[in-house]
Amino acid sequence: MEKTYKLLTPGPLTTTMSVKEQMLFDHCTWDDDYKAITQWIRARLLELAHVTADEYTAVLMQGSGTFGNESVLTSVVGNEEKVLVCSNGAYGVRLAQICRQAGVPSVEYAEPFDIAVDPEKVAEHLAADPSITHVACVHSETTSGLLNDIEAVGRVVRQAGKVFIVDAMSSFAGVDIPMADWGIDFLVSSANKCIQGVPGFSFIICRRDLLEASRGKARSVSLDLYAQWETMERDGGKWRFTSPTHVVLAFAQALRELEEEGGIPARSARYAANQKLLVERMEVLGFKSFIKDHQDPIITIFTMPEDVEFTFAEMYAYIKERGYVLYPGKLTEAETFRIGNIGEIYEADILNVTAALKEFVDEKRDK
């Protein structure tokens, strides 16, 4: 077997052996056992979002997280409606791109990548343009590790009587999100983020009445959210087209393991403690954390030490050799890189990777 390593990337991430082992079985898709697994997952997702089945529902959608975002935006915003897309990172920009490409009426409110979305400015946009019917916002902007205050944005959106769509891809289950209390109508996340499954599907948790009202608005066959939901509801957990069976089995196991860990409170505490320890250790080595306010517990951007010269590629190769994969930066101005700490990553891993980084930087300084 090839040399293995752990992923310090924010999804796909390092999963447990027991999650991976679930994929050794080729499950049939149409029988009742399989449909029951899908139904169990859907019910469990509602619990994790602190909502009930009479008001909310969960839909699983094939593809990566972007497919989930695209499914919601192209299925629920009608041609006579308009979505305000808040962007302060690559994922927010992608939401706007999805709308433009699919011809979904949209307008963008953009902030620089190190500044949080401002609820006041969202309110101003809504006041200035009454034709806006929906607001879309990323929760944890994985580009920068910045956590937008979607609770405050949700309050403004609710006051204005609009529909609130949240890309909570990299935060759901890593940060507790009481969906109804925060006024979130559609929430999107995926299998390979904080629930710690493998890549292959996204999921949408949403208000049942709003989903029903979206019937017939979809611009795509495969990403039609209402049609996917309708099949799952009518047929007791059947997926409309081939479902990623191995991924679904692994995801069910990942949900059981989330429970065993102590649910979202325990998991979010582990992530937050690891992120804090990571920053402490990195700053001793001369790496500075880039985001000053609203840092999330998911992923951190670091700038390079000022007193020593090396490239990200050199450092990446050195650390990979020692069992960990780092993540390049997505900001353009400064030379930065990112370290994610979600997945099966514990205090010992943070200590190991920062020890290896110390060795690397010390070697460079000695030269």
Binding site for ligand PLP (CB under 6 A): 10-11, 64-66, 91, 138, 142, 167, 169-170, 190
d(CA 345, CA 352): 11
- Among residues 37 and 90, whose Cβ is nearest to ligand PLP? 90
Scan for tokens 């937050």, then name that residue.
272
| E strand or H helix that includes residue 257 | helix 245-261
Beta bridge partners of 188: 167, 204
Nearer to ligand PLP, 146 or 357 (CB): 146
Q: Tell me the closest approach of the beta carbon of residue 63 to ligand PLP, in angstroms.
A: 8
- Residues 305 and 290: their CA atoms lie apart, in Å, by 12
Burial class (CB in 10 A: 0-12, 13-18, 19+), 282: buried
Q: Cα(287)–Cα(107) distance, rounded to whole angstroms?
A: 37
Rounded to the nearest whole angstrom, what is the least distance from the CB of residue 166 to ligand PLP in the complex?
10
Q: How far is the CB of 90 from ligand PLP (least distance, A)?
A: 8
Smallest gap from Cβ 347 to ligand PLP, in A, equals: 24
d(CA 192, CA 251): 9
CB 75, min distance to ligand PLP, A? 17
Minimum separation from the CB atom of position 60 to ligand PLP (A)? 14
CB of 30 to ligand PLP, least distance (A): 27
Beta carbon nearer to ligand PLP, 41 or 138? 138
Strand 56-62 to strand 186-190: parallel, antiparallel, or no bridges (unpaired)? unpaired
Q: Can you point out the beta strands (E) in the chain? A: 6-7, 56-62, 83-87, 106-110, 134-138, 140-141, 146-147, 163-167, 186-190, 201-207, 288-289, 299-303, 324-325, 327-328, 336-340
Task: Supply the minimum distance, in Å, between the C-beta of residue 190 and ligand PLP.
Answer: 5
Residue with Cβ nearer ligand PLP (88 or 274): 88
Q: Which is nearer to ligand PLP, 318 or 337 (CB)?
A: 337
- Using omega within 30 degrees of 0 as the cis cutoff, is the peptide bond preceding 12 cis? yes
Backbone angles phi, psi at 148, to 5 degrees: -70, 145
CB of 170 to ligand PLP, least distance (A): 3
Nearer to ligand PLP, 174 or 237 (CB): 174
Residue 134's closest CA among 49, 210, 220?
210
Nearer to ligand PLP, 10 or 329 (CB): 10
Name the closest residue to ligand PLP (Cβ): 65
Cβ proximity of 35 and 27 under 8 Å: no
Helix-strand-coil split of the chain, %, nearest 5? 45, 15, 40
Tell me the β-bridge partners of 137: 166
Residue listed under structure tokens 């325990």: 266
CB of 61 to ligand PLP, least distance (A): 11
Cβ proximity to ligand PLP, 10 vs 119, nearer residue: 10
State which residue, 66 or 71, has the beta carbon closest to ligand PLP.
66
Q: What is the amino acid identity at position 226? A: Y
Closest to ligand PLP by CB, 190 vs 341, is: 190
